[in-house]
Structures are given as structure tokens and as C-alpha cells.
Amino acid sequence: MAARKKVDKTAPAVADGGGVAENAAIAAKLRDYADLLEQQGADGFRTRAYRRAADFVDALVRPVADVFTREGRDGLEAMPSIGRGIAAAIAEMLTTGRWSQLERLRGDLIPQKLFMTIPGVGPELAARLADAHVETLEDLEHALHFGELQVKGLGARRRAMLLAALAERLGRPLRRHVAPLAERPPVATILEVDRMYRERAAAGTLRTIAPKRFNPAGEAWLPVMHARHDPWHFTALFSNTRLAHELGRTRDWVVVYFHRDDGPEASCTIVTETRGPHAGRRVVRGREDETPEPASDTEIQALPPSA
């Protein structure tokens, strides 16, 4: 009898069966994201990383959904060419059928629809969460842990239920500890990204997208900027929330998304403070006490543009 050939289930191979279509669909979204990053001027590192992951998933013999079901996020992260950040993206696609990062860069993101996929979240709560400057499942989990959400109807019991549901959706154990402050970029760096973004947006040098939310005319008005400052990658956009439109702050409030080379994404909002000791200055919401003293023009060192 011939010896049975040993098969490496994580190695790329020609796949068949029910997992083919799902693997191919995930790979297509990863490639779409890489294309958008390239078109919008992101650095080549991110573009190449998503294309490598797309090629791997497309050729995977084992359905990626099976890996996630059996081994959770750890199983996804352990596969070649994946890592933490892309594992989070795949987990979101598998559990919600959506990928908020891709939808954001396309202008298709409607956070309410994403939040309504969480058990126990109806249309009203989903809308309030979206108005609180959270857009993704990772955003929501981060904000709940850091106590950054001030939303009507979101008491301690519901917060705990949401965190448990998010842990299941994101394919990992329920987080018991808050990530240390060191895992967020320095406020000075975030404010420099904000400055660069607003200057380039005003100069008209950034690509713009046409968001579906609050944009009945379909106008491509929302500039997008990608930048890198080791070890952080940044994406900046003006806020497109209901409150920003109502208060006329769509050209003042800036949302900055950030992550390390192989880490999950988080975000923060930068605004012009209207009162208190920092009145008239740009501050990062929730980190106002870390606002640096104004620097002279000679002390400001610009971040390098994306490759």
C-alpha cells in the first residue's frame, strides 16, 4: 500500500468545495483594499501586505471560515501572510459580511448597519453609537474598554453584554484588561497628522471620495490622506457624522485611524477646543491633558509623506 501523503492544511493549494467562493470573496476584498490604498497614496508596505494576504487566502486549500470557527482569531493570525490586523479584517468579514475599513475608503461605510448585526443592538442604539464617533467593531470594543462612550441607554450591564458579543464576533477571548496607553501614538504625532491633513485638504492635493452618508448629491467632497511615521500607519478623514454636519464641523473635526505594521486599527478625533485652557487649539478628544505647548515654526518637524 502506498504511503499516505501528508498535507499541510495552511499551505496554498488549489481549493475546492464550499470554501472556494468564500475564500475568493475575502481575497477579492483584500485586493480591492490594496488597490484603494495605492490610489489614495498609501505607503507600499501596506499595499503589498494586503496583496500577499489576498494571494494566500485565494489559494488556501482549507476554508478560512473553518480556521476561524475552530481556532478563532489566533488561528487566523498564525497563518502565513495574515497577522493581527488582517486577521481582524477577515474576522469581521466572516461574522458580519462587511468590512468597515474597505467601506470607509470607498465612502460606503454606514456604521449603523454594522452595529445592528450585534445581538441586542437595535436601530436606535446603533444610530447613537455611530453618532459617538465609533465606526467599526474594533472601535466600539476599544471605546467600551476605555470608558470613552457616553451614550444614552448604555449602562454597565449592556456594556458587558456588548463586550461579550464583540469578543465572540472578533474571534477572541473576552478582554479583561485595558490596553496600556503606550499602544496609542503620542498626541504630538497625531496632531501633526491632523495638521498635514488639513493643509493638504485645503490645498486640494488629496484624493476625495463621495460618502453615502449625509450626501444626497453624491458629491466627492471627503479628502483621504494616508501617512506613515514608524511604527504607526495613519489614515485621516474629516468627520462625516450626523453631529458634525448639524454643528457645521465637517471641516474642523478630523478622525485619525492608526495601527502598527501588524496590529489592529483604532481611532481618535481631533477638534478645535472652544473653551478651557486649550480654547482655540487643536486637541485629541479624551487626551486633552496631553496637548503639548504650542511650538514655534522651527520646532515643528513634519511627518514624512507616504511612499
161 DSSP 8-state letter: H
- pLDDT at res. 175: 53
| Cβ neighbour number for residue 264 with a 10 Å cutoff | 20
What share of the chain in percent tops pLDDT 70?
Answer: 84
The b/e string for 59-96 (b: 16+ C-beta within 10 A; e otherwise) is: ebbbbbbebbeeebbebbbebeebbbbbbbbbbbbbbb
Domains of the chain plus CATH, in order, are 19-97 (1.10.150.110), 105-169 (1.10.150), 184-299 (no CATH)
* Residue that has been written with the C-alpha cell 456594556 in this structure: 159
With both helix axes pointing from N to C terminus, report the angle between 44-59 and 19-39 in degrees, rounded to the nearest 10. Answer: 170
pLDDT tens, 9-55?
344 333 444 567 899 999 999 999 999 999 998 888 889 999 999 99
pLDDT tens, 54-88?
999 999 989 999 999 999 888 999 999 998 889 98
